[in-house]
Amino acid sequence: MTTTAESVFGLSQAEREAALLPVLTELTEHHRTGGEPYDRILSSLGIPRGASFDSVEQLPWLPVRMFKHHVLKSVPDDEVFKVLTSSGTTGAEVSRIYLDKEAAADQPRYLGKTLRTVLGDQRLPMLMVDTIGIIKNRRSFSARGAGVLGMANFGRKHVYALDENDRPDVEAIKGFLANHGNEPFLIFGFTFMVWQYLYEVAREHELDLSNGILIHSGGWKKLIDRAVDNAEFRRAFAADTGLTRIHNYYGMVEQLGTVFVEGPSGNSLYCPDFADVVIRDPETWREQPVGVPGVIEVVSTVPRSYPGHVLLTEDLGVVHGIDDGDWPGKRFSVLGRLPRAEARGCSDTFSGSPA
């Protein structure tokens, strides 16, 4: 695998932590100055202003769901340039992420630097495994639409693989391949859609995707019923369509601009140099050893306009190895979501209906 000159997958774990710790410590202080609610949380946990930390693991983390219930931002109201929202899995709760002008500009820049490592510097013809409707209808602009729109920047001559009724548009896919199939091209989509609408169609119509570079995200939950995991996904694409350059990635709206990308050999996600993961034991909250699953904490120096630099996700994951894979640093997998905490209370006769 060749990486470009400005690869952001270069730092060993020791170099990474040495580089990140002072920046993240400064960011912690910056966010405390910029937002009283965040400062109150840390104070209530007994962490004084100006505290220093011995390691990335020791930095205080915020549960990602905090952004669904509270206004957490580090810029004054009049500097808020954009508020990003995302629906959680429940649909009812929405995260609100506040960006100033600078943060709004940073976010695509970091994303670009990260993805160019796998996509190359050239903007290639791009097959979008989605419907153009998802970005056309601005009124119901969704996280999915934002993802599609953000990714579209990395390619050109976009063709959408689904028609406006969300049905595979086989003629459009065939047309794209006729025009661009003999040179490198990009494919983007959400994991379950890529499987359902591209893999199954490509197999049925014996399409050749061997020049493609697929980048996909969104989790495996919807594919578990079909007994498809990452390994099977890669195997089937390679065997039936010739597509071997596949990069899953992991990221969230609460840490936009930061994505963890699957390396060329597959089955491990890697951290860009400005980010890291800490897998925590849900009992002691200490970092788990390599190979032991726990709750994923994502760390990034990108968030400056809201305290999203150290976030405890609601995903389970495991670190497979450190400095021993395609790229340096920790390599890890996402194993699934934490089940939702549900109490046996007096509430909710009609539990299950939307709040």
Partner 1 sequence: MFRHVQREPGVSVEQRFPAGPAVEVDALLAEITAEPEGGYLSVGDERVVQFLVKFARKLLAPATARRYPELASLGFFLRKGEIAKALSTLETSGDQLRFPRGVVFHVPPANVDTIFVYSWALSALAGNPNVVRISPRSQGAAQAVIEALNESLAEAHPAIAQTQRMITYGRDEAVTSALSAACDLRVIWGGDRSVAEVRKSALAPHARDLTFPDRASFAAVSVAGWEAATPEQRRDAAIGFYNDSYWFDQAACSSPRTLFWVGDDERAKPAREEFRTLLAEVVASKQFVVEPAMAVQKRVSAYGVAAEGHATEIRFEGNAVATLELVEAADVPREWLGVGTFPQATISDLAEFGRIVQRKDQTLSVFGFDRDEVMTFTRRLAGRGIDRVVPFGSALSFAAVWDGYDLLSEFSRITTVTV
Residues near partner 1 (CB under 8 A) are: 36-38, 40-41, 43-46, 62-63, 65-66, 69-70, 72, 282-283, 295, 312, 314, 338-353, 355
DSSP β-ladder status, 269-270 and 330-337: antiparallel
In DSSP terms, 62 is beta-bridged to 311
Task: Output 199 or 306, the one with its CB closest to partner 1.
Answer: 306
Please report how close the Cβ of residue 250 comes to partner 1 at its closest, in angstroms. 18
Q: Is 246 exposed, middle or buried (0-12, 13-18, 19+ CB in 10 A)?
A: buried
Please report how close the Cβ of residue 306 comes to partner 1 at its closest, in angstroms. 13
Please report how close the Cβ of residue 233 comes to partner 1 at its closest, in angstroms. 27
Task: Output 78 or 342, the one with its CB closest to partner 1.
Answer: 342
Please report how close the Cβ of residue 325 comes to partner 1 at its closest, in angstroms. 27
Q: 334 and 317 in contact (C-beta within 8 Å)?
A: yes
Task: Output 227 or 343, the one with its CB closest to partner 1.
Answer: 343
Please report how close the Cβ of residue 42 comes to partner 1 at its closest, in angstroms. 9
Please report how close the Cβ of residue 352 comes to partner 1 at its closest, in angstroms. 7
Strand ranges (E), the chain: 62-63, 82-87, 94-99, 124-131, 155-162, 185-190, 212-217, 245-250, 260-262, 269-270, 275-280, 294-300, 310-322, 330-337
Task: Output 227 or 346, the one with its CB closest to partner 1.
Answer: 346
Helix (H, G, I), strand (E, B) or coil at 5: coil
Eight-state DSSP code of residue 339:
P
Helix (H, G, I), strand (E, B) or coil at 32: helix
Task: Output 140 or 347, the one with its CB closest to partner 1.
Answer: 347
179: alpha, beta or left? (left if phi > 0; alpha if psi -120 to 50): alpha
In DSSP terms, 246 is beta-bridged to 214
Taking the C-alpha atoms of residue 222 and residue 93, their distance in angstroms, rounded to an integer, is 20
Task: Output 140 or 353, the one with its CB closest to partner 1.
Answer: 353
Eight-state DSSP code of residue 275:
E
Please report how close the Cβ of residue 279 comes to partner 1 at its closest, in angstroms. 12
Please report how close the Cβ of residue 332 comes to partner 1 at its closest, in angstroms. 17
Task: Output 196 or 255, the one with its CB closest to partner 1.
Answer: 255
Task: Output 69 or 205, the one with its CB closest to partner 1.
Answer: 69
Task: Output 307 or 329, the one with its CB closest to partner 1.
Answer: 307
**Alpha-carbon distances, residue 169 vs 164, 193, 236 (angstroms):** 9, 13, 21
Please report how close the Cβ of residue 265 comes to partner 1 at its closest, in angstroms. 30
Helix runs in 45-194, H state only: 66-69, 101-119, 133-136, 143-152, 170-180, 191-193
Q: Give the angle 54-60-61 at the CA atoms, nearest 5°.
A: 135
**Alpha-carbon distances, residue 320 vs 311, 326, 332 (angstroms):** 21, 12, 5
